[in-house]
Structure 1
Amino acid sequence: MKAATIKPIKTALDNISRTELIHIILRLSKFKKENKELLSYLLFESNNEQDYIQDIKVEMDEAFKAINTSSYFYIKKSVRKILKSVKTYIRYSNVKETEVELLLYFCKKLRSMRPSMTKNQLLINLYTREIKNIEKKIGTLHEDLQHDYTYLLDNLKS
């Protein structure tokens, strides 16, 4: 079965009743965890972005505390898992300020982690890649926000 593109889906959704739409959304939410998470964000958290950011930061803090630091293999695996979940949350939000703020916080946590990330090339590369990603995202923001986030980014670089 080939999936339809957005335009025919949008047209079809315009032509169905409210109860049918609710039924479709609930059925869609049963299939994947990500669908349920996105639906939860849209319904409950999208109206207060700052609380959403704080919840993710708390979750990041807990994840960084739970990292098995006995070897760099486990550290790398855990850090990649944390970054993957952060990027998923960023996709739900689709707000550039949220993305920059969460990635800055991720890099801050990675940099302050013990044992130091500077002893592992993969972690250094991951950190550098995210810093470059943040720089690109900052360039798309409003000038006042660019200044604030650039200041935070410069603190991370030094």
Structure 2
Amino acid sequence: MNISSYGLQHIKKEIQHLPNEQLTELLLRLARYKKENKELLAYLLFEAHDETAFIEKVKAEAGFMFSQLPALSYHAAKGMRKILRLLSKYTKFTGSKGAEIELLLNFCDNYLEYADRRTSYKPIRLILTRQVEKTRTLISKLHEDLQFDYAEGYNNLIEEAEKKLGWFKKNDYLL
């Protein structure tokens, strides 16, 4: 049995011809099958109109998760990866590069506040360096005006990281 998959344009054309009742049924059926679909639909219906409030909620949730990290390095790294998965899911929902940069900067700030600075556990160190590099790449892809807005917060983060972490070298990451 071979089920053909249709392209997005074909699906869009077909959806435009459906009555509202049938469209509602399709959306509810789609939301039933995957938790992420349901979460995305809930975001689009209830949260998308106020993106800044949504970002603040996500930051608060990530901050709480950071405060609950275990002391053991292995488990702390697992907890940080879980936070990153959550942040990447929410940035997919918003579809905004600015929101993604804000959440990554907040993640790095929380890392500096809650992570064990004395650890020599390499995966924990790599988590921060990857997120800093990802943030730098995202900022460099923005329009010049937006780059300037985020560059100050990014450079402050880099300065703070070098002060708090002996292994972090800011010259490797400055914009």
TM-score normalised by the chain length of structure 2? 0.84
Larger radius of gyration: 2
Q: Structure 1 residue aligned with 2:29, among 4, 27, 30? A: 27
Letter in 1 for 2:37: N
Q: Bigger shift: 28-37 or 1-10?
A: 1-10
Q: Is the 8 A contact 2:73 2:119 kept in 1?
A: no
RMSD of the alignment, in Å? 1.4
Q: How many residues align?
A: 157
Q: In structure 1, how many angstroms separate the alpha carbons of the residues matched to 2:77 and 2:26?
A: 39
Letter in 2 for 1:35: N
Deviation at 1:4, TM superposition (A): 2.0
Distance 1:118 1:100, change over 3 A: farther
Q: Is the 8 A contact 1:90 1:98 kept in 2?
A: yes
Q: Percent identity?
A: 33
Letter in 2 for 1:108: D
Correspondence for 1:151: 152
Letter in 2 for 1:134: T
Letter in 1 for 2:113: S
Correspondence for 1:52: 54
Q: In structure 2, how many angstroms separate the alpha carbons of the residues matched to 1:49 and 1:37?
A: 15
Deviation at 1:56, TM superposition (A): 0.1
Q: Is the 8 A contact 1:117 1:124 kept in 2?
A: no
Deviation at 1:108, TM superposition (A): 0.9
Q: In structure 1, how many angstroms separate the alpha carbons of the residues matched to 2:89 and 2:122?
A: 25
TM-score normalised by the chain length of structure 1? 0.93
Q: Is the 8 A contact 1:110 1:117 kept in 2?
A: no
What secondary structure sits across from 2:33 in the alignment?
Answer: coil
Listed one character per residue, the Cα deviations across residues 106-136 of structure 1 (whole Å, up to 9, x for unaligned) are: 0111122242275321121121111111111
What secondary structure sits across from 1:11 in the alignment?
Answer: helix
Letter in 2 for 1:28: L
Q: In structure 1, how many angstroms separate the alpha carbons of the residues matched to 2:118 and 2:136?
A: 21
